[in-house]
Amino acid sequence: MFNFTGFTDQTAGLLRKSIVILIVLTLWAGPAQQTSAASDWDTALDEIHNLYPGYTALQVSLKSDIQQNQTLRKQNNTALADINTRLLATNAAQLTRLRTAAEAVQKKHAPLLQQYTDLGKQATAARKAGTMQNAAVLDIKRNKLKSAATAARAEVKAATSALAEAKAAAAAINKPAKDALAPVAGLRKQITAQNKLVAAAQADRSGADKSYKAAVKAGDAGKAAAAMKLSYSRMTEIRTLVGRMYSWEGQISSALRSAEAKLPK
């Protein structure tokens, strides 16, 4: 099979021994590699088999946790909207009446007050320009309106002051409830930030689930096991994040109950 013509007997012998060793090693390596591959395969299948019950149970638990959190959030949103509506109703009729009156008085006297202001500006400009005759005429016209403008300003001030006092009174009535609501805004910001982390983890989980299904379809136990472990890890992370959000929603719920108890009767 092998021609060693031209080599010394010693060299030929060494070559024969080397070839035999290579053949033996080759024959030994093939089964060893096959055995190693089979071992990896079995290990991957064992991992899938052992993780599968916890994997499916975690899916159910996570779905329940997310639903529970969403339910509490909807309840809180509804309660907060109701509280805000009731706060806006405090002295609403009086505030509406005073606001309408203030707007009407301002609109009524706006032309007179604008004319009075414009005449003053024009007179000042005329004096700066050295046209004293024009300035005198403008001063006369302005002074003729002075008493009416003074009365108009007083009426506007009275109307706006009445509105401001009514707003202050309503704010004082609402203060205890609004103070109870103070933590809600900060908790909402925390939940918003947490939701971004959940979205990122959900994206990883979704990709892992797709990889798992593709690996199962392809019969690749190793990739399937790796994808399942990644999905499990991400679900565990998501469950922790959702748990925090649920805790914060619970704090919001407590704040809302406190605010409801302090709403004006």
Q: Which of 246, 239, 247 is nearest to 202 (CA)?
A: 239
Structure tokens at 93: 């009729």
Does the residue 21 lie in any domain?
no
Residue-level pLDDT at 14: 41
Global confidence as pTM: 0.72
Residue-level pLDDT at 41: 67
Does the residue 14 lie in any domain?
no
Does the residue 1 lie in any domain?
no
Does the residue 218 lie in any domain?
yes
Does the residue 13 lie in any domain?
no
Does the residue 70 lie in any domain?
yes
The residue to which tokens 């979205």 are assigned: 199
Weakly modelled stretches of the chain, pLDDT under 70:
1-39, 41
* Largest pairwise CA distance in the chain: 139
If one counts the domains in the chain, the total is 1
**Region of 220 on the Ramachandran plot (φ > 0 left; ψ -120 to 50 alpha; else beta):** beta
Does the residue 10 lie in any domain?
no
Does the residue 157 lie in any domain?
yes
- The predicted-structure confidence for 104-115, as pLDDT tens digits, reads as follows 999 999 999 999
Residue-level pLDDT at 243: 96
**Structural domain for 202, as ranges:** 61-81+93-261
Cβ neighbour number for residue 225 with a 10 Å cutoff: 23
Residues 82, 88, 92, 96: is their CA dihedral positive or negative? negative
